[in-house]
Amino acid sequence: MITLENISKKIGNRVLFENVNFTFSDGCRYGLTGPNGCGKSTLLKIVMGTESQTTGIVSLPKRVGFLKQRIEDFRDFTALDTVIMGNQRLWKALSERDSLYEGEMTDAVGMRLGELEEIIADEDGYSAEANAEVLLSGMGFPEEQQRKKMHEIPTDRQFRALLCQALFGNPEALLLDEPTNHLDLESISWLEGFLRNYQGTLVVVSHDRHFLNSICTHIADIDYETIIPYPGNYDSMLITKTASRASSEDENKAKEKKISQLKEFVAKFGAGTRASQVQSRLREIQRLQPMELKKSNIQRPYIRFPLPEKQAGQVTLKADHVTKGYGHDPVIRKFSCEIQRGDKIAIIGNNGRGKTTLLKLFAGLLTPDLGKITLGHAVEIGYCPQNHGDVLNKHTEETAFDWLKNRKEIVFDQDARGILGKMLFSGDDAFKPVRNLSGGETARLIIGGLILTTPSLLLLDEPNNHLDLEAVSALAWGLEEFKGTAIVATHDRELINGFATSIIAFEEDGIHFHRGPLSEYLEKKKKK
């Protein structure tokens, strides 16, 4: 159980939380939700004591697992040791025991070794390596890499080791901030199964809607400067929250209508002989005053990619035996495909296998070592890189409005402001310097640029990385309605299921092009 008592947090003049009282109960799995910038990660840091609150007290169980983000702190430890560090009491005992065995053996050392062996036994230390191996294997960690130093293995696997560290040692509570970020689809499925069987208190922040719907028994939604509990998964919360807001708005409208009728009576008879009835109506007006509804954080951008100005040919893009590598190691080998106008393709696969390379080849930013890529007639490309710095210069004073206007030769101010409004840049937000934009704002601005330039081929590399749940849903809807061709690299199943009719899958045995939805591809893969 995790208890928050009168927790407040202010950053400058901005209030994130105000006197929050909330209990995360044993045996419940909470999705901590809210838009970008509402304070989800800040709250997790407050709970773990790595960031201070303005007021209030946090009560925690003895053993809490927490997903750390700084892989550099573990660069000289093996992946197995990094996982075992998740149980600090056990790790300290093992480290001290090893240190004592290296020195001179005395009676005092022997006594201390006996005490340490008791701690190790109490913490199930003799099975620690085996348990750590099970976790790493579940995360798709090759056996030969489990005993390598962290800095000797790929970055995405280092993050997986940190996730295993948080899960290790049967913690009584588990706090996970974006645990699916560096996982492929198979590892995400394994994690979902693990967490559904977890018996402690789970609090997870994720922008993966499918993941939240799969594991959550409750939602803790940050809104109105507090935390509001909802039973069920994310979709259930959204239905309840929207209905509750609509009900409050309808109640206020009914009150306003009644007040208007009462005011007409007061105006008509206020100076007459019906003084007692007038006073009664005035008291009724006071009683019926509508409650002030704070602005909710449920906001969804309006994403619609318009028809391209030029109609592209039937064949959008053709790859013929394309090979591309770095040094002597090809990441793409003899890949061929033909992409038709209107195809909606999701690129899936482990990090580091070549998804970004393939998109850059399609975009013309890289040249194949062998083979050829041919664009179809009148195809115009719109590219969204994984690294937003590739298209946005964060070192200038350029505003979001100026950046958007510069995407196209002739743009009327009202058109640019209209797109910015749809991307949730209201009022003066449109004139924020690009360098001050958050990750989510930057992602929405780049999408706004794609809407403005009307490309016939969209190439998007992990576009959901900085988007909140509602923005991802809006993007999926926009891609599904798009009349051109879209190729998107992503791990987000909600996004894939929302738009993709074909799959390009990077697997260990090569690249597979499957015409059909993700569920069909995964089923076909199982049968192999």
> What confidence tens digit (pLDDT) does each residue in 20-43 have?
899 999 899 999 988 777 788 888
Span 226-261, pLDDT tens digits: 888 899 888 888 888 776 555 656 566 666 677 776
- Assess if residue 294 is contained within a domain: no
- Assess if residue 69 is contained within a domain: no
Within 10 Å of residue 240's Cβ, how many Cβ atoms? 16
Last residue of a domain, one of 169, 198, 214: 169
What pTM was computed for the model?
0.74
Query: What is the pLDDT at residue 293?
Result: 46
Residue 210 and residue 163 in one domain: no
**CATH code of the domain in which 199 resides:** 3.40.50.300
Q: In whole angstroms, give the CA distance from residue 490 to residue 473.
A: 14
Q: Which domain holds residue 508?
A: 315-527
Residue 17 and residue 158 in one domain: no
Q: Which residues pair with residue 510 across a beta bridge?
A: 507
Residue 245 and residue 228 in one domain: no
Residue 201 and residue 85 in one domain: no
Residue 53 and residue 103 in one domain: no
Residue 324 and residue 437 in one domain: yes
Question: Which is more confident, 309 or 157?
Answer: 157
Residue 351 and residue 487 in one domain: yes
Residue 37 and residue 94 in one domain: no
Residue 341 and residue 359 in one domain: yes
Give CA separation, 284 vs 259, 260, 279, in Å. Answer: 8, 11, 9
Under 8 Å between Cβ of 93 and 70? no
Residue 377 and residue 516 in one domain: yes
Order of strands, edge to edge, in the sheet holding 370-375? 329-340, 315-326, 370-375
Residue 354 and residue 437 in one domain: yes
- Assess if residue 106 is contained within a domain: yes
Under 8 Å between Cβ of 66 and 166? yes
Last residue of a domain, one of 169, 199, 214: 169
* Counted domains in the chain: 4
Name the helix (H) or strand (E) containing 261.
Answer: helix 234-269
Under 8 Å between Cβ of 338 and 274? no
Token reading at 21: 């009282």
- Assess if residue 301 is contained within a domain: no
Span 261-286, pLDDT tens digits: 667 766 766 666 566 666 676 666 66
Q: What residue spans of 288-376 are helical by DSSP H? A: 355-363
Residue 6 and residue 21 in one domain: yes
Span 75-108, pLDDT tens digits: 889 999 999 998 888 889 888 888 888 878 888 8
Last residue of a domain, one of 149, 169, 189: 169
